[in-house]
Structure formats: C-alpha cells, structure tokens
C-alpha cells in the first residue's frame, strides 16, 4: 500500500525553531489570512463602490485607513505614518497573493520587514529621511563598507540609535546587517502588547483575505492612480480654507 504524502506547505516553516524572526512574523500574518479566507467571502461578497468612497474622501479630511481627522500640517492622506504603513502592507500582501508569491522567501522577508516596525507605531520614515548628499557623505566616510560586519559592501544608511540624523549617529550598513540589527533591537512584549498585535494582525488579515478590497486604500491595482487625485483635491481644499 502506498501512502500519499501531503504536499509540503510553506506555512510548515513556522515549526522551525531557527526560523528568522522577520519571516516568522510574515508567516503568522499569512496564517491568519488563510484561516479567514473561508469566512471573508461572506463578509465581502461584492465589489467596493470605489468611486463613491473616493468621492467621500475627497470631500473630507479624514484618514483613508482609519477615518480619523488628519492634521493638515502633516500628510493629507493618512493621519500618521502608522496608518500609511498598515495600508501599504495590506496592498503589498494582496498584490503578492494575486501573483502567488506567499511561498517565496524574498516576499516573506519583505513582509517581515514591514511588520517588524508596526507594534512600535510604524517606521519613522519622515524623521529618518536623509538627503542624497548626506547619504553620499556617510558612504564616502565609511568607504562604502558595512560598519557592522566590516566585510560587505554597504547599500543602506543605519541609524545607530534613535532617529537623529546627525552624522555621528549614522553609519553605512549592508542590507543583511541592517535588517538583523532591527530585529535584534526588539524587546519582549507585554501581554497587553501581544493582545494588541494579535488584534492588529486579525484586522489586517481580514482586509487581505477578502475577495474584494474593503477600503479604497487596500486596492493594490487602483490606489496608485487614485491617491494623487485625493491629495490634489485635499490640498486645494486646505488652501482655500486658509486663504478665503
């Protein structure tokens, strides 16, 4: 008698105790997504009225991700970088699933990088934004070599501690060392934080698993063309309000 072996599933990697932390985060979220696929069709069995939702966002100054009022001194699309990164991650996974990339290690690593920063409020991209000139200065100073391992060619600039852009707080780094450092700097989370993360993953997974996008900003196909329209309309509204 021949026993047919079950085809190996990429989610089986979660059983590996040596699995890299970023990929583990990715596979946990993808597990949530798979578990919710069966019920998501009942939650979202018809296409979002995309044009109607866009019209509503054009006429208001609310975050397209969470619907909170936005601060006009910051982004005119999202209330925070946190919301921007959640929406971007959801589109990233929806696109990856359409292209059947869930089992690719490169895709899982990319997803893990995104998820790693969310529990702390998202990656502080605005605070850590570096000019092209400053980046080149740091690369030249460090001889285009990773200062963490001292071996590989540097492709990124690492903030040694915090988000200060002072040159003394910056160093050239290879992508592997920079990613590893980000994961090593994590701390043990409290039970309350774990509960919040599980809730976040559940909510993200529901928006990923549904056949059609639940929000306009979840639509990986149309959002790239739509966002500039909302941005332009809102900037016009703000300008008119400030200069009646």
- pLDDT at residue 16 greater than cutoff 80: yes
**Residue 100 in tokens:** 């059947």
**Pick the residue with more confidence: 17 or 231?**
231
Q: pLDDT at residue 208 above 90?
A: yes
The predicted model scores a pTM of 0.79
Rounded to an integer, what distance in angstroms lies between the CA atom of residue 229 and that of residue 176?
Answer: 37
Weakest-pLDDT range from 19-28, 185-194, 219-228: 185-194
According to the model, what pLDDT value does residue 29 have?
94
Q: What is the pLDDT of residue 43?
A: 59
Mean pLDDT of 54-73: 82
CA dihedral (85, 204, 225, 112) in degrees, to 10, reads 50
**Dihedrals phi, psi of 46, to nearest 5 degrees:** -145, 155
């Amino acid at each position: 008698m021949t026993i047919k072996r079950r085809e190996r599933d990429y989610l089986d990697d979660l059983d590996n105790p040596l699995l890299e932390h970023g990929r583990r985060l990715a596979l946990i979220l993808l597990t949530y997504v798979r578990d919710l696929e069966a019920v998501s069709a009942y939650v979202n069995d018809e296409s979002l009225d995309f044009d109607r939702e866009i019209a509503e966002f054009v006429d208001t100054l609310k975050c397209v991700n969470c619907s909170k009022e936005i601060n006009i001194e910051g982004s005119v699309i999202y209330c925070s970088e946190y919301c921007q990164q959640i929406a971007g991650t959801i589109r990233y996974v929806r696109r990856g699933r359409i292209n059947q990339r869930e089992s690719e290690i490169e895709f899982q690593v990319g997803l893990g990088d995104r998820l790693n920063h969310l529990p702390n409020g998202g990656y502080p991209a605005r605070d850590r934004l570096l000019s092209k000139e400053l980046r080149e200065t740091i690369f030249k100073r460090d001889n285009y070599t990773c200062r963490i391992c001292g071996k590989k060619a540097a492709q990124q600039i690492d903030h040694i501690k915090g988000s200060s852009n002072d040159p003394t707080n910056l160093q050239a780094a290879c992508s592997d060392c920079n990613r590893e450092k980000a994961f090593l700097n994590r701390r043990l989370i409290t039970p309350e934080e774990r509960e919040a993360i599980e809730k976040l993953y559940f909510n993200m997974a529901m928006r990923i698993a549904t056949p059609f996008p639940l929000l306009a900003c979840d639509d990986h196909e149309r959002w790239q063309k739509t966002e500039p329209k909302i941005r332009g309309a809102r900037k016009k509204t703000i300008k008119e309000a400030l200069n009646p």
